[in-house]
A and B are shown apart, each in its own frame.
Chain A
Amino acid sequence: MAGAGGGGNDVQWCFSQVKGAIDDDVAEADIISTVEFNHSGELLATGDKGGRVVIFQQETENKSQPQCRSEYNVYSTFQSHEPEFDYLKSLEIEEKINKIRWLPQKNAAQFLLSTNDKTIKLWKISERDKRPEGYNLKEEDGRYRDAATITALRVPVFRPMDLMVEASPRRVFANAHTYHINSISVNSDNETYLSADDLRINLWHLEITDRSFNIVDIKPANMEELTEVITAAEFHPHQCNTFVYSSSKGTIRLCDMRASALCDKHSKLFEEPEDPSNRSFFSEIISSISDVKFSHNGRYMMTRDYLSVKIWDLNMESRPVETYQVHEYLRSKLCSLYENDCIFDKFECCWNGNDSVVMTGSYNNFFRMLDRSQRRDVTLEASRESCKPRQVLKPRRVCAGGKRKKDEISVDSLDFNKKILHTAWHPQENIIAVATTNNLYIFQEKVN
């Protein structure tokens, strides 16, 4: 029985599955834009640039054969968002799914929130494995029978059918954001959720679509005075009054909704002073936080900026308790990365089930596992070359300069088009989902 994610280096990761097209010619609509496990880990949802959501379901484990780890198979696919046009501003609204968040399961159906730049939708995913048969007035295919031919009455009955999974939009939360939505987060009260765009955060009730409350507004009176934007926001996992939001300036603000209706004034401000010796043209860009995630226990939060991952103790605002370099060798390449726009890539990060290991993506289809308890880290690669079933992933090393050792890859050979921006960790087991540009890799802990 798998534990809740032990040390990243004690665990050996092996290939389990890969989803998506094999050809190198990537259709833009297939680019994966978000990955999220549900609360039990049984379901894994992905969103893509084409506005589609694909949900995978873990097959029920065969308990008698634990080494045959269960696989994720397609459960449901649906078109969540369509491209829209805002006629007032002559702007096209992309259908790309920015975020998916699952609601905790309350009944047989599953619910998730998916959002593009402007509109959030609540989807109900339900199963149908029975259908009524034996109508009097209708044929089985739905055509109406000629009333004159009916000579007897019967009671329709439910008969089993092939499992059908239906996704239906239950709520559409629209017209509340002027700027691009970057985050959604479901509250622990299971009734409300927040949505954040560049300048504002709104609080919604899941049942009410025509109204939301603005709880944070950092838009200055004069736009010329704009110095920072909101980059991510999340509710605390246990305290329904607490949420955090990160900014492009590298700060995180923790807000308490009990303090006032408008949470412009933060309760805590987490900020680490900049190292002046590292100052460059791109200092502002690389300090912009791209993701913020609370730990499962609610005591810590993790932030991701361009080059590092930082773990913050909620009780200490002055500096992070831990800092991990993700790809420090890129610091000297910032100019090129600015030219090719890679410096604007927004990497996400995630915790394992027991908050002992964190994971984040990098370039060349590399991803990094950072073990907090043992202070060790490893770089792994999601590639088609290591796709044999249960093949153990070999640690990768990047040579920053000087003599390149065997098995190392030099910085200049890295493929910056192959980036891992989205990763997810199963809430209980050592199963991870890693999204390359258009493929989803699933890796599992090696079971001896």
Chain B
Amino acid sequence: MINTMECAVDAQSLISISLRKIHNSRTQRGGIKLHKNLLVSYVLRNARQVYMNEKYAEIYRMQQYEEVMTVCNEIQELNPLDLMEDCEEQTGDCCGSASESASLCGALLPVSHQVPPVQHIQPSSACSVPMALQNEEVCKAPDPSFYRSCCAEAYPVSNCDFSPVNNMHCNKTTVLDLDTHVVTTVENGYLHQDCCASLQQCCQGAQSPAKKRKLDFGYYVSEIEEVPDFTPCKRAKFEDSSYVCTEHLDTSNISNLISIFGSGFTGLVSRQADLEQALNGQFCSKQALASLGAWTRAIVAF
């Protein structure tokens, strides 16, 4: 666990500082310094870890409140006059009693930063029971429905990310392709084809996002590989030919990295959520770390 003397806000600025350093290193005299970039990627990873943890905690709290409010509204339609006040009062209770499996469910649901902090209040009415049950049901819904909601709602082309309610509106973003140095101006934070690519990934399951990212950097690497190597190399160099096949798919993901960061970190959250949601709502640390390491090292690999 990282000792968060620096809080999550600093994690965010550390991420942007680190990215700036990596970007600047490409134009520094003497070429890219492998050592420095590797160290920067570690900071990036650490900061991202902290940021994600804080974000999840926040989302979890918000999501509980949202779900309760949604259920309350539904109940309100049946009994608009009776349960309104009670439901609002019980919000805290539901949030407090929600099961752990609900922890990631809300990752894909709209998050509003304007929702006030949740208060914990003593349960006193029958409202709490049905709401809790509802909560569980919502959260334990089978994955395909979440995929559907994710695919159908969260990736509309007009909305740039998973949180349309979010105050962070996606503006025009200038995207720098790290590989070809092509600068593109992007509407709404995502290139259109990237949206669709992400869509596909989400629906296809856990393996592809991680695997795709892993293969991304073979694309980088093969280009940079030294050509005339005068030292008698006592180890055969391993070049996976399968990298070449996925090049054309990977290009969009590579340029996506910058667009992700450009769209205010919600991209970070949603990508990670994708991956974990695809794994039945459980943290699969191995997969998460694989993608984590892969995309941070993407920036380093050259």
Interface 0/1 of A74-95, CB less than 8 Å to B = 0000000000000011011110
CB-based contact A284/B221 at 8 Å = no
Interface membership of B29, Cβ < 8 A: yes
CB-based contact B39/A223 at 8 Å = no
Q: Which of A31-39, A176-184, A410-418 faces chain B?
A: A176-184
CB-based contact B231/A279 at 8 Å = no
Contact of A338 among B17, B33, B301 (CB under 8 A): B17
Contacts of B220 in A (CB 8 A): 223
* Docked complex: A303-341 residues within 8 A CB-CB of B: 332, 335, 338-339, 341
* Docked complex: B36-58 residues within 8 A CB-CB of A: 36, 38-39, 42-43, 46-47, 50
CB-based contact B229/A178 at 8 Å = yes
Contact of A226 among B14, B229, B230, B300 (CB under 8 A): B300
Contacts of B234 in A (CB 8 A): 214, 217, 261-262
Contact of A248 among B38, B217, B231, B294 (CB under 8 A): B38
Closest to A281 in B: B46
Take A222-B221, A224-B293, A278-B3 as given contacts and tell me if A176 and B33 are in contact as well, using a CB distance cutoff of 8 Å: no
Contacts of B228 in A (CB 8 A): 175
CB-based contact B231/A179 at 8 Å = no
Take A88-B227, A224-B301, A277-B3 as given contacts and tell me if A229 and B38 are in contact as well, using a CB distance cutoff of 8 Å: yes
A241 to B33, CA, bound (A): 30
Interface membership of A445, Cβ < 8 A: no
Q: How far is the CB of B38 from chain A (nearest CB, A)?
A: 6
Contact of A224 among B14, B47, B50, B221 (CB under 8 A): B221
Contacts of A228 in B (CB 8 A): 38
CB-based contact A223/B301 at 8 Å = yes
CB-based contact A214/B43 at 8 Å = no
Interface membership of B2, Cβ < 8 A: yes
Closest to B2 in A: A279
Contacts of A88 in B (CB 8 A): 227
Contacts of A180 in B (CB 8 A): 30-31, 33-35
* Docked complex: A243-280 residues within 8 A CB-CB of B: 248, 261-262, 277-280
A279 to B3, CA, bound (A): 6
Contacts of A89 in B (CB 8 A): 31, 224
Interface membership of A388, Cβ < 8 A: no
Q: How far is the CB of B174 from chain A (nearest CB, A)?
A: 23
Contacts of B232 in A (CB 8 A): 211, 213-214
Contacts of B221 in A (CB 8 A): 222-224
- The count of residues in chain A whose C-beta lies closer than 8 Å to any C-beta of chain B is 53
A225 to B300, CA, bound (A): 11
Contact of B214 among A94, A224, A261, A341 (CB under 8 A): A224
Interface membership of B286, Cβ < 8 A: no
Interface band, chain B: 35 or more
CB-based contact A281/B227 at 8 Å = no
Q: How far is the CB of B210 from chain A (nearest CB, A)?
A: 12
Interface membership of A221, Cβ < 8 A: yes
Interface membership of B74, Cβ < 8 A: no
Interface membership of B115, Cβ < 8 A: no
Closest to B5 in A: A280
Take A214-B234, A224-B301, A279-B3 as given contacts and tell me if A284 and B39 are in contact as well, using a CB distance cutoff of 8 Å: yes
* Docked complex: A90-112 residues within 8 A CB-CB of B: 91-94, 96
Contacts of A338 in B (CB 8 A): 14, 17, 43
Q: How far is the CB of A117 from chain B (nearest CB, A)?
A: 6
A179 to B35, CA, bound (A): 10
Q: How far is the CB of B34 from chain A (nearest CB, A)?
A: 5
Closest to A346 in B: B35
Interface 0/1 of B263-300, CB less than 8 Å to A = 00000000000000000000000000000011001101
CB-based contact B235/A92 at 8 Å = no
CB-based contact A117/B50 at 8 Å = no
Interface 0/1 of A199-240, CB less than 8 Å to B = 110100000001111100100011111111101000000000
Contacts of B50 in A (CB 8 A): 281
CB-based contact A229/B294 at 8 Å = no
Closest to B18 in A: A338
Closest to A203 in B: B231
CB-based contact A248/B35 at 8 Å = yes
Contacts of A92 in B (CB 8 A): 29-31
Contacts of B229 in A (CB 8 A): 178
A212 to B297, CA, bound (A): 31
A214 to B231, CA, bound (A): 6
Contacts of B1 in A (CB 8 A): 279
CB-based contact B231/A288 at 8 Å = no
A213 to B229, CA, bound (A): 12
Closest to A220 in B: B238
CB-based contact B17/A262 at 8 Å = no
A338 to B21, CA, bound (A): 10
Interface membership of B10, Cβ < 8 A: yes
Interface membership of A125, Cβ < 8 A: no
CB-based contact B31/A285 at 8 Å = no
Q: How far is the CB of A285 from chain B (nearest CB, A)?
A: 5
Interface membership of B81, Cβ < 8 A: no
Contacts of A96 in B (CB 8 A): 30
Interface membership of B164, Cβ < 8 A: no
Q: How far is the CB of B30 from chain A (nearest CB, A)?
A: 4
Take A281-B43, A335-B6 as given contacts and tell me if A178 and B230 are in contact as well, using a CB distance cutoff of 8 Å: no
A residues near B (Cβ < 8 Å) are 88-89, 91-94, 96, 117, 175-176, 178-180, 182, 198-200, 202, 210-214, 217, 221-229, 231, 248, 261-262, 277-285, 288, 332, 335, 338-339, 341, 344
In the complex, besides A91-B30, A225-B297, 8 extra interface pairs with C-beta distance below 8 angstroms are: A89-B224, A94-B30, A214-B231, A214-B232, A223-B301, A224-B214, A224-B218, A248-B38
What are 15 inter-chain pairs, A to B, with CB distance below 8 A?
Answer: A88-B227, A178-B229, A180-B30, A198-B34, A211-B230, A211-B232, A214-B232, A226-B300, A248-B39, A279-B2, A279-B3, A284-B39, A288-B35, A332-B5, A344-B39
